[in-house]
Amino acid sequence: MSSGRALSSRWLGRVFNIERSSATSELPLYLCPAFRSLSIESRLVRRQYRPNTRPVQLRRLHTETIAAASTEPPALSKQPPKTLPLQCHGCGALSQTTVPNEAGYYDVSRKAVTQFLGLAEEKDEKNPLNADQIVQQALESVDVEALERQGINLKALLPERAPATTATPAADKSPLCDRCHTLIHHSTGDSIYHPSIESLQDTIDESPYKNNHVYHVLDAADFPMSLLSRLHSLLDVTLRTQNRRAKPVKFQHGRRMEMSFIISRSDLLAPRKEQVDSLMPYIKETLRDALGRVGGRVRLGNIHCVSAKRGWWTKDLKEDIWKRGGAGWMVGKANVGKSQLFEAVFPKGRMEWEAPKHQISVNVFPKAQPTPDETAASDESNEPLLLARTTTPSEEFSLLPPPQPETNYPAMPVVSPLPGTTASPIRVPFGNGRGELIDLPGLARSDLETHVHPDKRTSLIMKSRILPEQQVLKPGQSLLLGGLIRLTPRNVAPDDEELVFLAYAFTPIEPHPTATDKAVLVQTQAEDAPRVENIAVPGTGAKVRHAGAFQVRYDVTKQRTGPLTRREAVGLKVDRLPYRVLGIDILIEGCGWVEVVVQVRTRQLFPSEGGDQQQQPAFDLRPEPVNVDKKRREDEAEAKWPVIDVYSPEGKFIGYRPPMNAWALNKPRKETKSRPRKSMKKAKKWEKADRRASERSE
C-alpha cells in the first residue's frame, strides 16, 4: 500500500496547493485515507506550492446522509488470489477499502468485487443439459444387444463423441468502485473537490511524451463561459500567430505543446450538422473576443464543433488523435462533456499497428520497471486487497498515475451528469505504444446548483436541444426562470415610445413571464408571493443581487427583417429602414442562454436636431463598432440603447455574448394543411354533357 499512499497524498497535496502544516488536517480522504500516517521524511520530498486562497466547496447532485467513515477494512474469510486494481477505471480514484461513500472505495462483500477477487463460493448445482446431450443420454440407456438381434445397428446411428475441450475463461473485467456503481445504477453520488488550474499545469508538466496536445473542451450550452482564458499562458501552448513567417512548432524543455478548442455537445445549437457548420464564423469571432488581446493576434483554425451524441466530427477528431500520437490531454471545466467525448474519439482496436523501424519513439522519459526484490516484498505484504507495488521510489511522488494496461477495447471513464465525476487523471494508452489519451478532472465551473432544491438540480443540465416558445415582455413585465433568475427590461424615458421585448429561453428551466412586482415577490421568496414554481432553496431570496445591466446593442436587423432585405425579394438596404432590430444573448452558467430581441425606431435610437432621416448617422451593421472615427464614437455614446437588468443569487452566474440567432435555426415546425381535394361535381357534369353530345352526333 506504500505506492497507493504516496500517489494519493502527492495528488491531494498538490491539487489543492495547501501548505505542509495544514495538509493533514484539511485534505479529504476520498483517495487513500491512510495518507495521514505518512512519515515526515516523505512529506519533505514534495515541493512547496502556493496555497490556494479560493475556498473549496463540496457539491452533491442529491443530498444524502454520509455514513461515518470506518477505520477498519472488512474482514475476509480467506486470502484472495487476486488484488484490486490500482485505480478505478471509471473515475480514476485510487483504490481503498477504508472510507465508504468516497471515491475509490470497494466493498469486498459486493458481488462484482467478490467475483473479481476470486472469493465467490462455487455452487454445487449441475449445469443444465442441452437438447443434444439429452438425446445422447437417452440413446446410451437403450439395450444395444437386443436391438442388434432384431437387425438394428445402433452404433451406426449414434454420432461419435468429440474429445472434451476446456473452454478458455474470458478475461476478468475490473469492477467499478462503489461510487461509480451508484452513479450508473442509481444516479446519486457526491461530487469531488475540484482541483485548481495550477495543479493541472503541474500534472501536464510530468508528461512522459515529447509530443503533447491539449484539447480544451468547451460547452456549447453556455459558450464561451466555460473558456479558461489563462490556460494557453500557463501551459506555454503555441498558438499559431497570423504572421506566416512564424514557426508553427515550438519546443520548450524538450517538449512540444499544442492546443485545440473543442466545442462539445454542438447538437444543442441546431438540429442539423450543416446548420452548426454555418455557425463556425460566429463561433470563431466570439472565441476571439473571449480570448482578449491574444485573440486578435492568433489564428483560430484549430476549432472543432463536435457532438458525441450524434457523431458529428468525431471520426475526424479520432483520426487527428491517432496521427498525432503522444499524449492527448482532455482539459476543461466540470460537466462540459469531457468523459463522453473521450469515449467517442478514443482510437479503439488498433493494437496490431506496428511503428516503422526508422521512427523514433515519442516517449522520451521511459519508466523504469520494478526490481525483483521490490516485487517479492510486495507479494509478502499484509494488505492483499491493494495492488502490488508497480512503481519505483522516484515515481511514488508523481502526480500522474500509471497508465492502464493496453487493450484493443479498454474500459472507458464513467459518463454522469454529476459535476466532478472524475477524481484523478485517467490514462488510457492506444496504438501499441503510439500514445495515450488522458482525461483530467474538471475545474470548478458554477455553484448555481447549491441554490437549487436537491430534487430540481438535474433540471439545470441541458441534456437535449430545446425548442423555446416566444415570450413577449411588454412594459412593466419581467421573465422569471424557475423563480431563480429574473430578466427585467429597463423603463425608457416618458417621452419615448415604449418598447416590447421578445425573449427565447434556451434553458431547461421553465420560463414564466409576469408583472415585475410579482416577479420580485417570487424571486425574493416573500410571504405574499404568488404561487409560481420556485426551484430555489429557502433563504435564497435574501441573496438575490443585481448581476448587471446589459445594453442590447447588437444589430440583427438583416436576420430578422425577412423578405424586405433579401436580395431575391424586395432587396432594401438596412440603412433605408426606419427601424433597427437589436439583440443579445444572456448566458446562464452551465444551464443555457436567453435570446433577447427588441425593435427600436432609428430616430429614437439616434436622436437628431432636425429629425430628418438623412441627417442621422449611419448605423454600423457589425455587432459592435470597431475602429470608427471620432464623430461616430460621439454619436454612439449618445445613443439610447435598450437596457435589460438581470438579477440572480449573489449577482453571479450571468454573462453575455453577441446573438447567435438560434431562434431562426430552432423554430418549431408549423403544421401546414394540405391543399383540399378538388370537387368532382363539375367534372362529372362535363363528362355527362360530353357523352350526350357524342350520342347526338351519332
For position 545, what pLDDT does the model report?
93
Write the pLDDT tens digit of every residue in 358-412. Answer: 444 444 444 444 444 444 444 444 444 444 334 444 455 677 888 888 888 999 9
pLDDT of residue 269: 94
Closest CA to 74 of 103, 105, 104: 105
Say if residue 526's pLDDT is above 80: yes
User: What contacts 387, CB < 8 A, 6 or more positions away?
Assistant: 3, 4, 83, 84, 85, 86, 95
- Residue 93, burial from CB neighbour count under 10 angstroms (0-12, 13-18, 19+): buried
- All three cell numbers of 378, joined, read 510486495
The arithmetic mean of pLDDT across residues 585-598, rounded, is 94
Cross-strand bridge partners of residue 487? 479, 646
What's the pLDDT band for 157 if we cut at 50, 70, 90? low
Model confidence band, residue 322 (pLDDT cutoffs 50, 70, 90): very high
Please give the sequence-ordered ranges of beta strands (E in DSSP) within 521-628, or none if there are none: 544-551, 554-555, 579-588, 592-601
Confidence of residue 535 (pLDDT cuts 50, 70, 90): very high
What was the pLDDT predicted at 363? 46
Strand-pair partners of 331: 216
Greatest Cα-to-Cα distance within the chain, rounded to the nearest angstrom: 128
Going by the DSSP 8-state scheme, the letter that residue 206 receives in this structure is T
Comparing 479 with 126, the larger pLDDT belongs to: 479
Chain mean pLDDT for the chain: 76
DSSP tag of 298: B
What pLDDT is stored for residue 668 in this prediction?
A: 77
**301, 238 Cβ separation under 8 angstroms:** no
| Residues 295-317, mean pLDDT to the nearest whole number | 89
Question: 10 Å Cβ neighbour count for 85?
Answer: 21
Alpha-carbon distance of 377 to 61, in angstroms, equals 42
With a cut of 60, say whether residue 284 has pLDDT above it: yes
At 247 the pLDDT is 67
Q: Are 137 and 131 in contact (CB under 8 A)?
A: no
Q: How far apart are CA 304 and CA 291, in angstroms?
A: 17
Q: Which three cell numbers stand for residue 148?
A: 442388434
Lowest mean pLDDT among 18-22, 220-224, 412-416: 18-22
Grid cell at residue 620: 454600423
- Secondary structure, 3-state, 622-646: CCCCCCCCHHHHHHHHCCCCCEEEE
Q: What is the mean pLDDT of residues 442-455?
A: 89
Share of the chain above pLDDT 70, in %: 70
List phi, psi (to 5°) of 312.
Answer: -85, 120
- The span from the first CA to the last CA of the chain, in angstroms, equals 112
Q: What is the percentage of the chain residues whose pLDDT exceeds 90?
A: 33
Q: Is the pLDDT of residue 444 over 80?
A: yes
Q: State residue 576's pLDDT score.
A: 86
| pLDDT at site 121 | 65
The pLDDT-based confidence of 216 (bands split at 50, 70, 90) is very high
pLDDT at residue 442 greater than cutoff 70: yes
What SS3 state is found at 166? coil
Does pLDDT of 17 surpass 50? Answer: no
Output phi, psi for 581, to 5 deg: -105, 120
Rg (CA), the chain: 34
Is 562 a residue whose pLDDT tops 90? no
- Mean of pLDDT values over 207-219: 92
Q: What angle do CA 184, 189, 190 make, to 5 degrees?
A: 140
Q: Is the peptide bond before 224 cis (omega within 30 degrees of 0)?
A: yes
Asked if the model's pLDDT at residue 471 lies above 80, the reply is yes
Instruction: Pick the more confident residue, 241 or 300.
Output: 300
How deeply is 648 buried, as exposed, middle or buried, from its count of CB atoms within 10 A (0-12, 13-18, 19+)? buried
| CA torsion through residues 27, 31, 37, 39, sign | negative
Write down the pLDDT at residue 524.
92
The structure's pTM equals 0.75
Considering 140-149, 344-353, 543-552, the range whose residues carry the highest mean pLDDT is 543-552
More confident residue, 252 or 408: 408
Strand partners, 190: 60
Cβ atoms 88, 176 nearer than 8 A: yes
**Beta bridge pairs of residue 555:** 582
